[in-house]
Amino acid sequence: MDLELVRQVLDSLQVGLVLLDRAGRVVSWNDWMRRHSGLEFAAVQGQRLTELFPEIQDGRLAWAIDEALRFRLSSMLAPTLNPAPLPIYRRPGDRERSEQIQQLIYITPLQHPVCACLIQIHDMTAPRRRERRLRDQSSLLIETSYQDPLTKVGNRRRFDQDLSKLFQQARERQRPLALLMIDVDHFKSYNDHFGHPAGDACLREGDRIARYGGEEFVALLPDTDQVSACAIAERLRLAVAQLALPHPYTPLGQVTVSIGVAAMTPSPATLCYTLVAQADIALYSSKDAGRNRCLWYDAAIGKAQTC
- Residue 39: inside a domain: yes
- Residue 16: inside a domain: yes
For residues 105 and 207, membership in a common domain is answered with no
- Residue 155: inside a domain: yes
- Residue 141: inside a domain: no
From 4, 215, 216, 234, the catalytic residue = 215
- What pLDDT shows up at residue 22? 93
For residues 185 and 43, membership in a common domain is answered with no
* Domain endpoint, select from 104, 129, 154: 129
Tens digit of pLDDT per residue, the chain (307 long)? 566 787 888 889 999 999 999 999 999 999 999 999 999 999 999 999 999 999 999 899 999 999 999 999 999 999 888 888 999 999 878 888 888 999 999 999 999 888 899 999 999 998 888 888 888 777 666 666 777 776 677 888 889 989 999 999 999 999 999 999 999 875 444 444 444 444 334 333 433 478 887 778 899 999 999 999 999 899 888 888 888 888 776 676 788 899 999 999 999 999 999 999 999 999 999 999 999 999 999 999 999 999 8
Catalytic (active site) residue 215: yes
Count of structural domains, the chain: 2
For residues 125 and 155, membership in a common domain is answered with no
* Domain endpoint, select from 129, 159, 180: 129
- Residue 134: inside a domain: no
- Residue 125: inside a domain: yes
- Residue 21: inside a domain: yes
- Residue 164: inside a domain: yes
Q: What is the CATH number of the domain that holds 101?
A: 3.30.450.20
* Domain endpoint, select from 70, 96, 129: 129
For residues 57 and 174, membership in a common domain is answered with no
Query: What predicted TM-score, i.e. pTM, was given to this entire model?
Result: 0.54
Range of the domain at 180: 146-306
- What pLDDT shows up at residue 105? 96
- Alpha-carbon torsion (273, 278, 282, 288), positive or negative: positive
